[in-house]
Amino acid sequence: MAQFLIRRALQGMLVILGVTLVVFVATRMVGDPVQMMLPLSASAEQRAAFSQQLGLDQPLGTQFLAFVGDLLRFDFGDSLWQRRPAIEIVLTKLPRTLELIAAGFGFAVILGVPLGALAAMRPDGLWDRIIVSLSLIGLSVPQFWLGLILVMVFAVGLGLFPTSGSGSLSHLVLPALTLGIPSMARIMMLTRSSVIAELNQQYVRTARARGLPFAHILFGHAMRNALVPVLTLAGWEVISAWAGYTVVVETVFAWPGLGMTAMGAINHSDMFLLQAIVFVVALGIVLVSLLLDLLYKLIDPRIDLA
């Protein structure tokens, strides 16, 4: 176990380092922040002077060494765009994105798993058909469109929630739904097929023949096995939301999270801020995958982590 943790931590550090370096090179190759920041009609001389003031006229190699040196001391530098420490910006935006993911994803799991199991009880029954149809709708609608429709119906039409913004629980409802509905649909579908497969297993038939109550069979045995693939999917949902899928929802609902900040950093060619965002996101992904591995072990003790 300890060996496993150490190995994964080392792997994780390599991933994070690799990703940040790629971002450094990519941001320097794609856009010149000075061109982005000054008005277009600024003269070549004005741009050169500004570049010098920001220290961006140094050779790329020199800048790269300085960057790596700072990174080793966990200093991400100041955001070019906002002129304050990049990591500070990331840390103020981070909780807002986590809040959104927790709400959207919590909703997806709390509804998706039981509904999927309910559908699996009687495949092709009434509940199954309703649930499968609903999840197909949830899977097919584009997220930005779903968000705008929710706004038109529940905010503009019925006035139940604010159209956008943040700061209260009622602000959270529509963005969380928009983020959660496609995830819920996927989780529901997978739980359904996974539970159906388990219920057809030999051990379930044996348990039924022995006269065990169905609820005990379902929750005590079948669900536990069926949840392993669901957990994999759930982990993927969290990671993909975390790695940038929230940006659509954040844009539609003017939610001040990390996704919007990343967009701003890209639009300003702000490599220092982007660097800090990517670092924190990569760290999060490494941690979530580690957590998932540990959860597998908890659900199914047969899984060997070493």
Partner 1 sequence: MKPEHMIRAALLGAVLAAAQPAFAADIAIAIGSEPSTLDPQQRDDGDERAVTDNIYETLLARAPDGTLEPGLAAAMPEQIDPLTWEFKLRDGVSFHNGEPFDADAVVASVARIIDPDYASEQMAYLSTIAGAEKVDDLTVRIMTGDPDPVLPARMYWMKMVPATYSADPAFAESPAGTGPYRIAAWNRGESIALEANPDYWGGAPEIDGVTYRFIAEGGSRVAGLMAGELDLVRNLYPEFLGAVPNSTAVPGLETSVIVLSTENPVVSDPKVREAMNIAIDREALAQALFAGRAQPAKGQLVNPKSFGFNPEIRAYDYDPDRARALVEEAGATGQTVTLVGEAGRWLKDRELIEAVGAYWAEAGLTVDIHIEEFGEYLNQLFDKDHRPDAIFVVNSDELLDADRPLTAAMEYGASYASNADEEMAAQIRAARAETDVEARKALYGEITMKGYEQSYLVPLLNQEDIYAMSDRLSWTPRIDAKLLVKEMSVSE
Q: Under the rule (CB under 8 A), what is the footprint of partner 1? A: 30-32, 35-47, 49-50, 53-54, 79, 81-84, 92-93, 96, 148, 151-152, 155-156, 159, 162-167, 251-254, 256, 260, 263-264, 267, 269
CB of 232 to partner 1, least distance (A): 33
Please identify, using beta-carbon distances, which residue of 166 and 193 lies nearer to partner 1: 166
Buried-exposed string 213-240: b where 16+ CB fall within 10 A, e elsewhere: eeeebbeebbbebbbeebeebbbebbbe
**Considering the complex, what minimum distance in angstroms separates the CB of residue 122 from partner 1?**
40
Q: Which CB atom, from 4 or from 154, has the smaller least distance to partner 1?
A: 154
Phi, psi of 41 (to 5 degrees): -85, 5
3-state secondary structure of 122: coil
Cα gap 19→92, rounded to integer Å: 22
Distance CA(151)–CA(4), nearest Å, equals: 47
Give me the phi and psi of 78, to 5 degrees please: -90, 140
The answer to whether the beta carbons of residues 266 and 274 sit under 8 Å apart is yes
Phi first, then psi, for residue 85 (nearest 5°) are: -55, 130
Least Å from the CB of residue 163 to partner 1: 4
Q: Which residue is associated with the tokens 């790695």? A: 243
Reference 248, options 234, 264, 232, 260; nearest CA is 260
Q: What is the DSSP letter of 136?
A: H
Instruction: Give the C-alpha separation, 176 to 147, whole Å.
Output: 10
Least Cβ distance, residue 141 to partner 1 (angstroms): 16
Measured from the CB atom, the residue of 243 and 254 that comes closer to partner 1 is 254
**Nearest C-alpha neighbor of 277 from the set 23, 84, 104, 80:** 23
SS3 at position 163: coil
CB of 240 to partner 1, least distance (A): 21
Measured from the CB atom, the residue of 26 and 66 that comes closer to partner 1 is 26
Query: Closest separation between CB of residue 251 and partner 1, Å?
Result: 5
CB closer to partner 1 out of 54 and 98: 54
Q: Tell me the closest approach of the beta carbon of residue 196 to partner 1, in angstroms.
A: 41
Nearer to partner 1, 36 or 243 (CB): 36
Q: Which is nearer to partner 1, 226 or 278 (CB)?
A: 278
